[in-house]
Every structure is written in C-alpha cells, then in structure tokens.
Amino acid sequence: MADEEQFEGFILFVIFNKGSKSEHHAPVLVVENGQTIRLFKEGDNPFMYESIRQFHLSYCRVKGILDKEKNLIAVSDIEQLADPIISLWKNTENETQTEVTASDKKEDDE
C-alpha cells in the first residue's frame, strides 16, 4: 500500500464529461505548477462530494494517496490554509490601491 502524501493548492469544482449524460462538477486540486489532480474521498457520493464541497475556491493542504495513473488523490484529510495569493497581494500594497471606501463611492456618485 502506498504512503500518504501532502499536497497544497486550490480546490475547485470543475465540469467533467461536458455535454454527456454523465456531466457533473467534481473537485480538483490545482497545485503550484498549474497541474490539476482529481480528488475523491472514500464514502462520498461521487456526484455530490459533500466532504469536499465546503473547500471550493479555498487554498488547502490535502493528505492522501496519489494514484499517478488515474491522476487522483484518495483524500484522507483536508485542512484549509491561508491563501498565499491574498498574502502576496497585501504585501505588495495592492490592497490599499484597490480599496473603495464608502466615502469614495459617494463622491463618485455625486
């Protein structure tokens, strides 16, 4: 049996089998190099993914066993982490440049 590994990235639900009778949204982990790896958790309905759905659009650490042939992680645990993109954005002072305060909006409306 393979050992568990840890992976970090964004969890997204994407469309699989588009245009077919089995079209559905399923979770993937988008890792740093842009690669996507499908996610599956034992016991979840393969069309609902109740245990993973709450992490949609979140940066997470996923623990599980990677099946390279199927490009699939059999998930044992998911932990939401601080979003590194937001941290980078804030560190480059972009946050203050893009903030619109209520008083700025009021002035624009007048």
Contact (Cβ atoms closer than 8 angstroms) between residue 47 and residue 17: no
pLDDT at 12: 97
Give all domains of the chain, ordered by start, each with its CATH number: 5-81 (2.40.50)
User: What are the pLDDT digits (tens) for 58-93?
Assistant: 999 999 999 999 999 999 999 999 998 887 777 776
pLDDT at 110: 53
Q: Please give the average per-residue pLDDT across 13-33, as a whole number.
A: 92
Q: Please give the average per-residue pLDDT across 45-69, as a whole number.
A: 95
Q: How confident is the model at residue 99 (pLDDT cuts 50, 70, 90)?
A: low
pLDDT at 109: 52
> DSSP readout, the chain?
-PPPEEEEEEEEEEEESTTSTT-EEEEEEEETTS-EEEEE-TTS-TTT-HHHHTTTTEEEEEEEEEETTTTEEEEEEEEE---HHHHHHHHTTHHHHH---HHHHHHHH-
